[in-house]
Structure 1
Amino acid sequence: MNTTEIYLIAMAIIFSVPYLVWRLGRTDHWAPLVVVQILTGIALGPGVLGAAFPDYYRFVFNPQVIGALNGVAWWAVMVFVWIAGIELDLREAWRYRREGGITAGLALGVPLLFGAAAATLLLADLPLVGGGWRGLLGQPWQFVLGVGMACAVTALPILILLMEKLEILRQPIGQRILRYASLDDVAIWGVLAVILMDWQRVGRQAAFLALFALASVALRALMQRVPERDRWYLGLIWLALCAFGADWSGLHYMVGAFLAGAVMDAHWFDQKQMDALRAHVLLVVMPVFFLSTGLRTQWGAGGWSVLVVAALLLVASVAGKLLGVRIAGRVLGWQPGEASLIGWLLQTKALIMIIFANILLDKQVITAQAFTAMLLMAVGSTMLTTPVVKPMLARLPQLLSRRV
């Protein structure tokens, strides 16, 4: 077979296997399709399929096919992160800055500290987890801060999807949660930029940021003068240019993609079209990103240490998020049960954490083994959300319409 035919076989596997598992297994309550796609990517990677059927794995996922898949995955995740940036509503966050700042700060800071403590344990080469978690180019502070922030991440796009399914997205409680997650998103990408700061290319990075600031002013002026149909095309051109500039300067193309969206206003676009675009990106191209992510997983000796570390990070992320939001609830005088509901929704990791971990792996801040543990942590976090939150909503309907 030629490369095109093998590529199409790979694409058929990527789209059919997770769909069949999700549909026939009726997993939607505890594992939405996006989670099944991530798990399928792991199963199709070298740690599972590659170990069980190495010849088949090498035939289907040969270097030429992987190269083609990676190209699709790069663009898919850039568009997805760009949409997440556009959907940030910083004006609304500023309007409720005291309540939002306290909640978002504690919801981010406490799990970050818990995750940083867990990362410090990993650096200690303890017998239960061993070593080999920090990447070759990662300084200890970068590793600790990176793992800590991975434990603090909230996956804003997936949170939107889950709240849509739970029918609370347009309710006051849903809009509050979006504000908290939006503020955390800004902080997350800011910290990532610090972690990725390349002092040998600091001149390039300063030049990129200066040009980006000037170009953003021009873009905003232009976008308000053109019809909406042109804004979509201009937005995608802007996305490609910002991603290139960020990568050229020593940051990462996904940092550029987020910045490209963050300086754009959601009201420039029809909300239904934006929702449809996000859904179509998830349907049409993001499964390729999940597969390419799974191809990067490694399990190490027996895989037990990876599972132990994944469990450690999951406890740190969930416990830290719940504790942080509970403290915020005490400070702000929330109703009983409100902090638990918000905390469980905000601990959703999924895509943003996986994107974050991919960047750390690309920059060799973490190893492939650490990446696998973080990926499993993100999946576990997301799978917990709906089964825990759905009964809470049934018990506490009065919280849905409460405004602050």
Structure 2
Amino acid sequence: MVFSSSSFTLLTLFIVISTVCARPQSYAIWAADSGIQRQQGNGLGGDGNPDVSYEHGEFQWGLRQLYERTGEEKYFEYIKNGVDNIVFGNGTVHGNYRLSDFSLDPVRTGPSFLYLLGKTGERKYQIAADIFKSQLDSHPRTAQGQFWHKLRYPNQGWLDGIYMGDIFYADYTKRFQPDNATAWDDIAKQFTLMYQNALQNATAPNNLHLLYHGYDFSHQKVWASPDRGHSPEVWDRALGWFSMALVDILETFPQDHPGYQSILSILQDIVPHIRDAADPSTGVWWLVMTQPGRERNYFESSGGAMFVYSMLKSLRLGFVKDTKDGSIARAAKKAYGYMTENWVVEKQDGTMDWLNTVIVGSLDQTGDFDYYVSQGLRVNDLKGLAAFLLASLEIERL
């Protein structure tokens, strides 16, 4: 067969386009490769400067699982390059990190430091981890012992902070101080105090038996309830952070320590209630979970992906037993199906877009319904894309 130069050019172009746009069979790989192609989670901010970001730590948590599953070196190298962008050769954590801020958020990159230390043996990663541990050693606390979320939020414990600080705290303790019973006591206390102070009680309006976004132990904030100082609403992503922290830490926490059972009991308590809080029609969750169907409320993607990850990982590792009819697994798969149909969009360059992730949710203002629904959405927000990567990894393990 003879091709003209023009037909050969068109054929070549067709092959190139077909190759670029081929959708991976794995949504986990597709999500990871799309984020990497956009240079997300690479230790740099939009301005090109080093960025010690919990979002990057969350993405790297997924990439390391994908690396262990596939053996693809590009995932390991992306983690390493991202961490090397925020850790100097002498181990100093630089960029926008300041220990004096006493913020738990940047500590979420700490598990990546420890992971690379284990893989490479490079001393700088231990020094960087030691810096974060020194922060936790002097971090301000409530009178009960809960870490403040940040120095500028005095006496406030947030669900977010459990994910940001305590996964690293447990990983560090296991690696360097495995027999430090005081440290394990303290880690367990962070979970139990949050649970006790933020769990909805039986008389709460719109009671879902889930956890409010956070609490102010001093009862000074405008949103603090009279009884325990908790915030007024259950926000999906805050609960998502907490549920992921519960299931992730149980892989690290010593099973012969009493705190293991305490954390396990919390996980076993809330997973069925997360299942029950899903919208019956779509299977996914409202942004403000305590106000289902209210005007301006909507289905939010990052919290939902975090729930799918937590539910399926809980089942896979035997932390939670499903019902006889498999209702927890079924709920997770239904939600995931909605996500892939509605929040995953294939692009012409072969990457995927991830939709419907709210940019921010905080307790620095009113913490009420109007606050949460007034926050903007961002396409490919890494908090949501990384959560979808994690959910996809669990779906693909089924």
Q: Taking structure 2 as the reference length, what is the TM-score of the superposition?
A: 0.28
More strand by share: 2
Q: Taking structure 1 as the reference length, what is the TM-score of the superposition?
A: 0.28
